[in-house]
Amino acid sequence: MKVTLRLVAAIWISALLVIAGFAFLQVREERERLVGDLERRALLLGEGLREAIQPVVARGSTAGVERILKRFAKPTRGIAVYDRFAVLMVATPDLAPVLPPSLPEVTEAISQNEVSRGFRLLNARQTYVYATPLARDERPVGALAVVLDASHLDEAEWALWQAHALRFLVLALVVSLIALVVVRTSVTQPMAKMSEWTRALRTGRQVAPPAIPDANLFGPLASEVAHLARSMQRAQAAAEEEAALRLAGESVWTEERLKQFVNARLQGRSLVVVSNREPVFHVRVGGRIQTQTPASGLVTAMDPVMRACGGVWVAHGSGDADRETADAQGRLGVPVDDPRYTLRRVWLTKEEEQGYYYGFANEGLWPLCHIVHTRPVFRPDDWTYYAEVNRTFAETVVDEIRDAEAPLVLLQDYHFALLPALVKTARPDARVAIFWHIPWPNPEAFGICPWQRELLLGMLGADLIGFHTQYYCNNFLETVDRTLETRIDWEHFAVSRGEHATYVKPFPISVAPAFVDDPPDLSREALLRGLGISAEFLGVGVERVDYTKGLPERFRALRWFFERYPEYRERLVFVQLGAPSRSTIKRYQELQAEVEQTVREVNQALQTRSWRPILYLDHHHEHRDIWAYYRHADFCMVTSLHDGMNLVAKEFVSVRDDEDGVLVLSRFAGASYELRDALIVNPYDLAETAEAIRAAVEMPKEERQARMARMRHIVREHNIYRWAGLLLSELSRIPVEATAVKAS
């Protein structure tokens, strides 16, 4: 109410000042107009009479003057004639009784021999006096005074002030009423709704924000309140989860537990994560900048860790609007709407990106480490760019930890095999780990690489090397044993070179317990309706389009299934979400064409007028979009030909809080070592995969739920926070060295 009164008072004062200003100007202009009118009338009359009266006055004929004045006398004007001593000779009857003994205007006209004018109060009335000298031979012989009634000037001014006062009252009342209505509808009521909303959020209820009539006014407030509410909900959920775990006597790793662990173990030391892929990138779409999350298992895994631990994530800035959204050093807060850690973007030229990323990393190391019958390509120029980019990232990392004491640096994946030694050489006190997200092949396969020695020396600069499985650790140690002169401690899985020891251990990576913080409220029916399909059974696959994922084999297995079990035609639809990947590489272009051709062949062979067996959606999908597919699918297919872990399998399990759904999982994916209750298949065996699809749709509900419950327990226990906690714990226990590592 006080705000409303202040607003109304401000409106009244503003209106008063504006109208008073305009009224003053109008009154002044009107007075000038009326005075000008008086001057013109007096001038015409005075100058006209002067020619007639001047000779008569010169002769001293009073009677002659009286005769002239009688003809011009009127009630609204008076005329008086004075001799050369300013003594009244004759005046019109209405004027004579009120004239004073002398008029200053007359005296001035005679003495100065020029016209004099002014306002004079005569008989309590405002008058205008116009005095003009009478002369003979250019010598004054008297004066003629014209006196006009000027009382209407004050009356006109008062009338104008009254009109403006009335106008002010009407305007102020109308504007005040409008302001009150606007304030009530646009401020008071929305604020009341927002108050109810925040009250509901404070009590822990999930309530959608109210509709905001003016996003410019309330949008920032609503956004900040929403961020605060999410923080409160996270804290409340974390506290409730911790309390429940204590009651149950369990020790599951949570985000809050990881935070506490990092605070206690790192004791304020800096944490820097390095990866090629950034957690968010910015692109221009239709002239506007959009924030997108890349389709990357690494991002799925590491983003929750960084949100919990904070620190700096160094990554290649690949979006076409990345520079516009970062500061001069390439830094910005992530998440964009609620920053919890810093992203430091590294800028690369197109030539560097082509040689380092598309060339050596993805045409060389990627097929080398994945045994999928794609020949690796190694070019000297690509190796040069790979080494150069690793040095660029090393300089950025060293810059970020310049003022940090004993920092922890966690490097990610095959893009940065040379980086551990570079960082360790510059900062011997840093604890450096590299996690290899893809498989490590046997020594014979890795021996294909012309620069295997340089890669191994670079990796052994780390204090800790992590792989998904013990099998990959063994492969790596055997590769080192055959390639370099080192001491390998097979009991502790460590490699010693000089005084530096590198530990090699398995850390099976996982996902956060919650795939998304705020899952969409989308039913199965709404999902199918949005896709334009109807189905009794729904299958889903979520992949980047990569030759390691076995997409053509998966679609051929689906065809085999429908041909062998025709009763499921027009009852089952398989939806494949396929994010395009590395489309500049020829092998990926061929794969994209092969995938599309296989989908066409299967659909053309089996489809009817109202049904297609496969729906292929080949574009980028955000996690919130993917959630609905995971949640409502009857089965999910993860049939990689070779995969380090494949987090899609764990994402699917984490979403299924209904403890339903079936996972069809390749035995060549690292996830198959943990998720033994999935239907494990050989993706090259089309018949076996088809049988797994049949088993998935025909499996009794009790068995589905029992299998899913066991898998959910594993994913819940072995989540990404546990992975990060174990890895950081292992890294922080390694003693700091006093000398730099020298690559040889």
DSSP-assigned states of every residue in 152-175: HHHHHHHHHHHHHHHHHHHHHHHH
3-state SS of 208-267 is CCCCCCCHHHHHHHHHHHHHHHHHHHHHHHHHHHHHHHHHHCCCCCCHHHHHHHHHHHHC
Alpha helix ranges (H) inside 586-658? 586-606, 623-632, 648-655
Instruction: Give the Cβ contact number of residue 619 at 10 Å.
Output: 8
Quote the pLDDT of residue 150.
Answer: 86
| Residue 520 located in a structural domain | no
Q: How far apart are the first and last CA of the chain?
A: 78
Last residue of a domain, one of 203, 231, 251: 251
C-alpha 63/C-alpha 86 separation (Å) is: 18
Quote the pLDDT of residue 743.
Answer: 41
| Residue 549 located in a structural domain | yes
CATH code of residue 136: 3.30.450.20
Cβ contacts of 406 within 8 Å, gap of 6 or more:
269, 429, 430, 431, 736
Same-domain status, 500 and 576: no
Quote the pLDDT of residue 196.
Answer: 75
Same-domain status, 60 and 91: yes
| Residue 736 located in a structural domain | no
Same-domain status, 462 and 534: no
Quote the pLDDT of residue 553.
Answer: 97
Instruction: Give the Cβ contact number of residue 398 at 10 Å.
Output: 17
Residue 497's SS3 state is: strand
Same-domain status, 303 and 350: yes
Q: Are 324 and 295 in contact (CB under 8 A)?
A: no
List pLDDT tens digits, range 102-158.
888 888 888 888 889 898 888 888 889 999 998 887 788 888 898 888 888 888 888
Same-domain status, 334 and 231: no
Amino acid at 361: A
C-alpha 465/C-alpha 493 separation (Å) is: 10
Last residue of a domain, one of 121, 155, 189: 155
Same-domain status, 314 and 436: yes
Last residue of a domain, one of 102, 125, 155: 155
Same-domain status, 552 and 606: yes
Same-domain status, 228 and 288: no
Same-domain status, 301 and 360: yes
The DSSP code for 737 is P
| Residue 348 located in a structural domain | yes
| Residue 204 located in a structural domain | no
Same-domain status, 294 and 236: no
C-alpha 608/C-alpha 40 separation (Å) is: 101
Q: What average pLDDT is seen over the chain?
A: 88
Quote the pLDDT of residue 154.
Answer: 83
Query: Which of 716, 744, 666 is CA-nearest to residue 245?
Result: 716
**What pTM was estimated for this model as a whole?**
0.71
Quote the pLDDT of residue 279.
Answer: 93
Quote the pLDDT of residue 744.
Answer: 40
Residue 15's SS3 state is: helix
Q: Which residues of the chain carry a pLDDT beneath 50?
A: 247-249, 738-744
Same-domain status, 599 and 700: yes
Residue 93's SS3 state is: coil
Same-domain status, 306 and 424: yes
**Domain boundaries, position 315:** 258-506
| Residue 724 located in a structural domain | no
Quote the pLDDT of residue 48.
Answer: 80
CATH code of residue 390: 3.40.50.2000
C-alpha 476/C-alpha 361 separation (Å) is: 18
| Residue 514 located in a structural domain | no
Report the number of distinct structural domains present in the chain: 4
Q: Are 374 and 548 in contact (CB under 8 A)?
A: no
| Residue 168 located in a structural domain | no
